[in-house]
Amino acid sequence: MTGIEQNQLNDTARENDNVIQSSDMSPSDSQFTITETKWSELKAVLDKRYTEIATLLRYNKTKDESIQRLSAEIQKYREGFAFSALKPFLNALISLREDCHKSMRDSKHFEMDGEKAKKYTEYLVSDFEEMLSNIGLERDDDNSISINGKPISGQTQPKTMPSEYLINEQKNDDTSPVLISTKPIKNMSELFDYLNKNEMAIQLALQDKAVTDKTIQEYRELSARTDAEHYFALVAPISRQVYKLYDSITVQSANDISDDMLIIFYQSILDKVVHGIEIILINAGMEIESLDGFFDVQKNKLLKTIPTSDEKLDRIIANTYTDCYIYDGKIIYQSKVDVYKFQQTQGEENHG
């Protein structure tokens, strides 16, 4: 309350106290009156107080919405945060593994010589390096790994929890209630005292507001740090495993292999990549299924149908080209297959 406002209320209080003192009414029945000018001044003061209270109420509503948003951010850890962090790795590794699967099949069915095997081995290493680049993985001369320019070992340590800050600031369990008079106000002095107490309550509320502001900001910063820490905790192991596999296929150059052994060397590299990626994916929580039997519309992707006169083979998988990959119960990559489709022969149709 400003000095001018206080002087105005003091003047009004003195005038009305004089009116009450000169009155014959008992204190319990007394009423006070003020001039229209004084009432306008008093109304301006009250309007200001009500505006401040309304502002606080709107502020509290905004903070409730902010807290709900923070709660939603926490919920995401239950709704696939791990998969979101690992998705670029998983997709890239699945793609490379299935490419190697196809190359293994091709190497067995198509004629290959040492020169082609050497060239394909170089292609494979180049594809692996391209995968690393697409994911954002890099490795320095000192073998430190970074993803998108950030070292995977550079995790931010959590700072003081916001709750600790709030406890320290909110000393003696201060509260900020809006006061309501429980008894009739008999004169301007009592009104002045009542308004002063309400102003103190408003000031406490404003202090609470500042504490809440800082607390919510602390939680936002903590959430960002936690996101980064969880992300690096998830990607660090898989990043190291990927580079370990890469080193295992580049430790011996095709230039060091004799021509008659290059085909075997190439096939062994393919096999190493296929099985190495399988281990990495399983360690990351992936399930890998090599499907046969009946066609499953959820797990299989149909490439083509193969006609058959054997009704028992209808909807049976004829050829499987890729595995099925499942993460946290969800199909990430369908198995590509050919499926038998029963068709009656002309003679059977006529006989029917």
pLDDT at residue 15, as a whole number: 52
Whether 343 has a pLDDT exceeding 80, the answer reads yes
Q: For the segment 99-120, what is each residue's pLDDT rounded down to a tens digit?
A: 999 999 988 888 888 899 999 9
Q: What is the pLDDT of residue 296?
A: 94
Question: Do 333 and 94 meet the contact criterion of CB atoms below 8 Å apart?
Answer: yes
For the entire predicted model, the pTM comes to: 0.63
The Cα–Cα gap between 129 and 123 comes to 10
More confident residue, 31 or 143: 143
At 7, the pLDDT band (50, 70, 90 cuts) reads: low
Average pLDDT over residues 41-69: 67
Q: What is the pLDDT, as a whole number, of residue 342?
A: 93
Cα separation, 144 vs 163, in Å, equals 36
Q: Is the pLDDT of residue 226 over 90?
A: no
- At residue 278, φ and ψ (nearest 5 deg) are -55, -45
pLDDT in tens, 228-257: 777 888 899 999 999 999 999 999 888 888
Are β-strands 335-342 and 300-308 bridged in parallel, bridged antiparallel, or unpaired?
parallel
Evaluate whether 176 touches 208 at the Cβ level (below 8 Å): yes
Query: What pLDDT is recorded for position 23?
Result: 42
Q: How far is CA 30 from CA 11, 17, 181, 184, 186, in A?
A: 19, 11, 17, 10, 7
The domains found in the chain, sorted by start residue, are 1-112+148-236+278-284 (no CATH), 288-351 (2.30.22)
